[in-house]
Amino acid sequence: MRILIVDDSSTMRRIIGNVVQQLGVKKGDFDEAADGVEAWKILETNGQYDVILTDWNMPNMNGLELVKKIRAGGAHQKTPIVMITTEGGKSEVITALKAGVNNYIVKPFSADILKEKLDGLIKG
Amino acid sequence: MSMSQEEIEALMSGADDISGGDEESSDDSVGAIDNDILAGIEGITDDEPQEEESSNDNIDDILAGIEGITDDEPQEEIPTQDDSAHTIEEMIEESKFPLPVEKEHKVVNQLNEVAEDSEEKASQIFDILSFILDENGEVGDVFNQLEEFATKQRDLLTSLENKFPNIDVFKDNLEESQKSIEIIQAYKLRIDAENNKIFEAMEIMQYHDINRQKIERVMAVIKKLTNYLNGIFEDDTGKPEVQIAKHISGDSASTVSDDDLESLIGEFSNN
């Protein structure tokens, strides 16, 4: 399973990377991007990903803009997206879901929660 | 307020309905999402986060209890506009504002520095935790090899002990072999427990990102406030700055009385 992790915090990217490794994903099977612009470049050049995990608040292009751009068309239009963010407001969750995210995790999260969400996406 | 997994799944189901229809019907669907479900979601809030109340610790008591802290520590002197030297603490204590506009006093600069520095330190902590995990992994591999060898030894000794029940050395070594396996397994469990603690620590490090975003929120407010204040106090009249009066009638004790005024005039007239 190939995963793209998008977060402007390098610590957060490492934490998420560590969790997905616990779930059996090999180190070479996930890539990282620090913002939406970088993520979009990777998506255009690095081939197909099975899941995209993205933060919301990031510089240059935020997570919501990235989700909308992905859903607008291209090779990853149907790729499952999980938003992992500190944004815990009801309206933000609804906005993200309307933009096309498949699941939503509020930070801080446990490895078990991410595992459940990823399992659900893979099986679903 | 915390939320159960069932409730968040229920929200996700609602999302399927949202994305399935056209834009207007999506809005209707959104409105229909059960508020009770959202209310139960862990980390989901209806209201803006409330500021936490700061505690008023008795700093003096704390300092008094710390060995090596003295009242007469040398204070860093900060130059002020009237050329008199004051420490930052004195200036704050005497409400002598504003502080000199220097890099270390610029609030947004300081907050940005804190955010960036803590990111760097968090990364270093993560390096250390990752190193320990990797080392534990290698130690675990060695234990696996030892366990495999010890198990083969135990099986061999079991066969020998069954075949030669009267030879004590086989029996004794079989018992020792069994103990060795149990010790190895116990240490493997300890390594697993230690790894779990490291994973817990890594999860807790998410608060670094959360706290950084709180700082960024404060920075954004200050920047907006700065722009607002700059705008509202901006002087676009083009009028040159006039010299201001130092003492005006109605001020407290600093204005001269009529008697004093006449006296002074008389005194200087005589000269």
Q: Is residue B49 part of a domain?
A: no
> Which tens digits make up the pLDDT trace of A48-99?
999 999 999 999 999 999 999 999 988 899 999 999 999 989 899 999 999 9
Q: Check CB contact under 8 Å for A9 and B38.
A: no
B33 and B113 belong to one structural domain: no
ipTM: 0.81
Q: Is residue B85 part of a domain?
A: no
**Do the Cβ atoms of A13 and A7 come closer than 8 Å?**
yes
The residues, ordered by sequence, that sit 6+ positions from A10 with a Cβ below 8 Å of its Cβ are A34, B119, B123
Quick one: how far is CA B80 from the chain centroid?
A: 33
B137 and B35 belong to one structural domain: no
Residues of chain A in contact with residue B132, where contact means CB-CB under 8 angstroms, are none
Q: Is residue B44 part of a domain?
A: no
Residues of chain B in contact with residue A94, where contact means CB-CB under 8 angstroms, are 18, 30, 33
Q: Is residue B184 part of a domain?
A: yes
Q: Is residue B74 part of a domain?
A: no
Q: Is residue B241 part of a domain?
A: no
Mean pLDDT of A4-17: 94
> Which tens digits make up the pLDDT trace of B38-60?
444 455 555 444 444 444 455 56
Min distance B120 CA to chain A CA atoms (Å): 9
Residues of chain B in contact with residue A100, where contact means CB-CB under 8 angstroms, are 19
The range of the structural domain enclosing residue B10 comes to 5-39
List the single residue in A with minimal CA-CA distance to B24: A98
**Do the Cβ atoms of A51 and A82 come closer than 8 Å?**
yes
Q: Is residue B67 part of a domain?
A: no
Domain ranges of chain A: 3-123
Average pLDDT, chain B: 76
Number of structural domains, chain B? Answer: 2
The CATH class, in words, for A3-123 is alpha beta
pTM over 0.95: no
Helix segments in A23-110, DSSP class H: 36-45, 63-72, 90-99
The residues, ordered by sequence, that sit 6+ positions from B104 with a Cβ below 8 Å of its Cβ are B110
pLDDT at B5: 47
> Which tens digits make up the pLDDT trace of B194-216?
999 999 999 899 998 899 999 99
